[in-house]
Amino acid sequence: MIRPMTTRKRILSRLHNASFCPKIMVLFLVIIIFIRLPSQSASKPPVIAKNGMVATSESFASRIGVNILKKGGNAVDAAVAIGFALAVTHPAAGNLGGGGFMMIRLQNGETTCIDYRERAPSAASKNVYLSSSGSVVPEASTRGYRASGVPGTVAGLCFALKKFGRLSLWEVIQPAIDLAEKGFPVSDHLSQSLKDSAKLLQAFPESARIYLREGKYFEPGETFVSKDLAWSLKVIRDQGLAGFYHGPIAQKIAQEYKAHGSWITQEDLSSYEPVIRVPLQGSYREYGVITVPPPSSGGIVLLEMLNILERYNLSELGAGSSQTIHFMVEAMRRSFRDRCELMGDPDFVEIPVRKLISKQYAESLRSSIQPEKASATTALPSRTQSGAEKDQTTHYSIVDNTGNAVANTYTLNGSYGSGVTVAGTGILMNNEMDDFTAKVGMPNADGLIQGESNGIDAGKRPLSSMTPTFLTKDGKLFLVIGSPGGPTIINTVLQVILNLIDFNFTIQEAIDAPRVHHQWLPDQLKVEIHGFARDVTVALRSLGHHVVADGYMGDAEGILLDPKDHFLKGASDPRGDGLTVGY
């Protein structure tokens, strides 16, 4: 990726080009030596604050979050406020009609994962996306009414607030209502994102009316108002989650899904419940890792990769070197194979989690890695799209002034989900059913080849890759991190962690640094376009890796609590449109 010249480089180049008098030259040199300038590879220094911090993928949401912290709300209050706000300002991924995972670490060290992943409707079953000849019906699980699972976001946010928040639902949801009702200026990013998804949104009248203004696309600076979404948010404000799952919103969803011959019923909605799960715990070098459990594969895969990589001296091999990438990719290949073959909703399938995240198991995987040669996996065609990172899924990280932390990743799955907006609600519905295995051996929209363990069943949650994660150092919070990006999420989180721990990058540098991705099948090593020097990709090819240049991966939002000076240091990913705000 192309980075602006750092301050240090700019000063050095001025010294080189200008004919300064010797005294000024000496002064400049003293400044360069004694003042710590931002280091080489960061696009900018991290945001630094003492009290609290919020890093999200959209600026209005970040400001709302930090205002909640300033007025005495805790990290969970801010997380819930942000969750509702992003549904308005970042409609591609922020949502009421999707689901996700909220990881919470309280200042006393207690950790929880709220699983508010969507569930398959009760009418869904194993072969629902197959034609009579047994082939996968194109777009059946990605587009339109049949692509949606029963949404979990409102239940998850309301549960989090009730159990861990300090403020009322009214206080945390009102900022989102104001944004929806009074409107907010459309950013370049939102304007472009809506245009990019016009084909999908056009196909559904309510989406075309609200998000495309019937073809009069929103241009940057214009005001986006959504009265329908404001109505839904007010129903939730006044009636709580009952308004969504039992009351007027549930009625509208169930009626419309029925009218379109689809399956989300009033009963599916009223029986939806989030699940409180125990986060996975592991370690990487001298850091504790607290991460998301199944039905996300993210935590297991992350821990498997970290356990494998721990035995290599990566800092000596160097960031971005072909040897470091080779070992990373071999770890990715092995851990993603386990994802595809073994994982699914733990309420339906048994996953050998303890074994998979053990150091012993990692050792057995590592023993098959050759330093000089890529391992083989069968090559299969990929359906993954190249190009810039799309607005699919969104992650935010929060730390409050007492040290409570939240890592929340939630999504509609694809950008703008299924494309369906339920009439009268402004609510875009997810296409999360595509995360299931429609047919063993066939790739989903993320190119993932998945197994029986992730097959479709009534009430089941599809396997996810979302990876909201905390790191600790000496038992104290060190890092809050996560990203969107489908399967690349797990590898993005991995690479940010390695950049911090092995390469001693700042949080901004760790997030900025170019990324690679391998997911076992197809056997492709994707590298961010412009990210790596040619001799690195040549060296990787000579080891036997099938290197493919790809678009940007992920949109990581991270906050680090620096154990040295106790400042919060945060960064938003330059690949996205995020903002980190501290106070």
- Binding ligand DON (rule: CB under 6 A), the pick from 59, 265, 408, 413 is 413
**Stretch of residues binding ligand DON (CB under 6 A), selected from 138-146, 347-355, 360-368, 482-490:** 482-490
Nearer to ligand DON, 47 or 96 (CB): 96
Nearer to ligand DON, 345 or 435 (CB): 435
Active site residue 393: yes
The first and second tokens of residue 104, run together, are 């919470």
The first and second tokens of residue 412, run together, are 């509609």
- Binding ligand DON (rule: CB under 6 A), the pick from 62, 95, 323, 411 is 411
Q: How far is residue 12's CA from residue 100's CA, in Å, rounded to a whole number?
A: 47
The first and second tokens of residue 126, run together, are 């194993």
- Binding ligand DON (rule: CB under 6 A), the pick from 41, 59, 465, 537 is 465
- Binding ligand DON (rule: CB under 6 A), the pick from 58, 268, 310, 435 is 435
Nearer to ligand DON, 82 or 230 (CB): 82
Q: Classify the C-alpha dihedral 342-343-348-354 as positive or negative.
A: positive
Strand pairing class (476-481; 469-473): antiparallel
Q: How far is residue 438's CA from residue 353's CA, in Å, rounded to a whole number?
A: 24
* Residue 393 engages ligand DON in binding (rule: CB under 6 A): yes
Provide, rounded to whole angstroms, the least separation between the CB of residue 581 and ligand DON: 24
Provide, rounded to whole angstroms, the least separation between the CB of residue 37 and ligand DON: 35
- Binding ligand DON (rule: CB under 6 A), the pick from 97, 485, 570, 576 is 485
Provide, rounded to whole angstroms, the least separation between the CB of residue 531 and ligand DON: 18
Nearer to ligand DON, 69 or 463 (CB): 463
Nearer to ligand DON, 291 or 465 (CB): 465
Provide, rounded to whole angstroms, the least separation between the CB of residue 73 and ligand DON: 27
Residues 99-158 contacting ligand DON, CB under 6 A: none
Name the nearest CA neighbour of 292 among 488, 154, 470. Answer: 470
The H or E element containing residue 316 is helix 314-317
- Binding ligand DON (rule: CB under 6 A), the pick from 464, 472, 519, 572 is 464
Which DSSP string corresponds to 403-466? S-EEEEEEE-SSTTTTS-EETTTTEEBP-GGGGSBSSTT-B-TT--B--GGGB--TTPPPPB--
Which DSSP string corresponds to 282-298? EEETTEEEEEPPTTBSH
Q: Single out the catalytic residue among 153, 393, 409, 506.
A: 393
Nearer to ligand DON, 96 or 540 (CB): 96
Provide, rounded to whole angstroms, the least separation between the CB of residue 229 and ligand DON: 22
**Stretch of residues binding ligand DON (CB under 6 A), selected from 197-205, 259-267, 301-309, 385-393:** 385-393
Query: Are the CB atoms for 176 and 87 separated by under 8 Å?
Result: yes
Provide, rounded to whole angstroms, the least separation between the CB of residue 12 and ligand DON: 38
Provide, rounded to whole angstroms, the least separation between the CB of residue 515 and ligand DON: 13
Provide, rounded to whole angstroms, the least separation between the CB of residue 466 and ligand DON: 5
Q: How far is residue 456's CA from residue 460's CA, in Å, rounded to a whole number?
A: 7
* Residue 392 engages ligand DON in binding (rule: CB under 6 A): yes
418: left (phi over 0), alpha (psi -120 to 50) or beta: alpha
* Residue 466 engages ligand DON in binding (rule: CB under 6 A): yes
Q: How far is residue 408's CA from residue 83's CA, in Å, rounded to a whole number?
A: 9
* Residue 570 engages ligand DON in binding (rule: CB under 6 A): no
Nearer to ligand DON, 435 or 523 (CB): 435
Partners of residue 103 on adjacent β-strands: 113, 407
**Stretch of residues binding ligand DON (CB under 6 A), selected from 16-24, 171-179, 279-287, 484-492:** 484-492
Q: How far is residue 478's CA from residue 287's CA, in Å, rounded to a whole number?
A: 8
- Binding ligand DON (rule: CB under 6 A), the pick from 152, 247, 293, 484 is 484
Q: How far is residue 81's CA from residue 216's CA, in Å, rounded to a whole number?
A: 30
- Stretch 501-530: interaction string toward ligand DON, x if CB under 6 A: ------------------------------
Nearer to ligand DON, 466 or 498 (CB): 466
* Residue 408 engages ligand DON in binding (rule: CB under 6 A): no
Nearer to ligand DON, 54 or 466 (CB): 466
Provide, rounded to whole angstroms, the least separation between the CB of residue 298 and ligand DON: 8
Classify residue 146 by its DSSP letter. Answer: G
The first and second tokens of residue 115, run together, are 């699983």
**Stretch of residues binding ligand DON (CB under 6 A), selected from 68-76, 198-206, 474-482, 483-491:** 483-491
Provide, rounded to whole angstroms, the least separation between the CB of residue 410 and ligand DON: 9
Q: How far is residue 553's CA from residue 551's CA, in Å, rounded to a whole number?
A: 6
CA distances from 459 to 46, 125, 273, 347, 542 (A): 43, 10, 11, 10, 47
Q: For 499, how many CA atoms within 13 A lie in the half-sphere containing its CB?
A: 25
**Stretch of residues binding ligand DON (CB under 6 A), selected from 28-36, 337-345, 354-362, 479-487:** 479-487
Strand pairing class (99-105; 111-116): antiparallel
Query: Are the CB atoms for 328 and 309 separated by under 8 Å?
Result: yes
How far the first Cα of the chain sits from its last, in Å, is 30
Partners of residue 479 on adjacent β-strands: 471, 560
Give phi and psi for 113, each to the nearest 5.
-120, 120
Helix (H, G, I), strand (E, B) or coil at 350: coil
* Residue 62 engages ligand DON in binding (rule: CB under 6 A): no
Provide, rounded to whole angstroms, the least separation between the CB of residue 455 and ligand DON: 16
The first and second tokens of residue 512, run together, are 């900025």
Nearer to ligand DON, 484 or 531 (CB): 484
Nearer to ligand DON, 59 or 464 (CB): 464
Which residues make up the interface to ligand DON (CB under 6 A)? Answer: 390, 392-393, 411, 413, 432, 435, 464-466, 484-486, 489
Active site residues: 393
